[in-house]
Amino acid sequence: MTDDHPLKHLSPGDEPPKLFLTPKELADYWSMAVHTLANWRHGGIGPTYTKVGARILYSVDDVIAYERTHNPGDKP
């Protein structure tokens, strides 16, 4: 494990940092409907996401980058 690896500095019993959010977690965080995120994905807008099998995940880094350039409360 490299020195900059996010799990390197954890002590036993520590919770690992959250690297990905589900659509439900992101929708809750942004106080919007999960369906809105689905519409955004279909329209090619919103933060970058990854599909792992049938699961959709949003990288926390991608969400932060998106927030820096967009107001999630605004319509795209």
pLDDT tens digits along 52-63: 999 999 999 999
Alpha-carbon gap, residue 39 to 37, rounded angstroms: 5
Angle at 49 between CA 19 and CA 2, to 5 degrees: 35
The SS3 assignment for 13 reads coil
Residue 75 in this model has a pLDDT that exceeds 60 = no
The Cα-based distances of 36 to 11, 42, 65 in angstroms read 38, 10, 19
Percentage of the residues of the chain whose pLDDT score is greater than 70: 79
CATH topology of domain 20-69: Arc Repressor Mutant, subunit A (1.10.10)
Domain ranges of the chain: 20-69
pTM: 0.74
Residue 27 in this model has a pLDDT that exceeds 80 = yes
The average pLDDT across 9-25 equals: 81
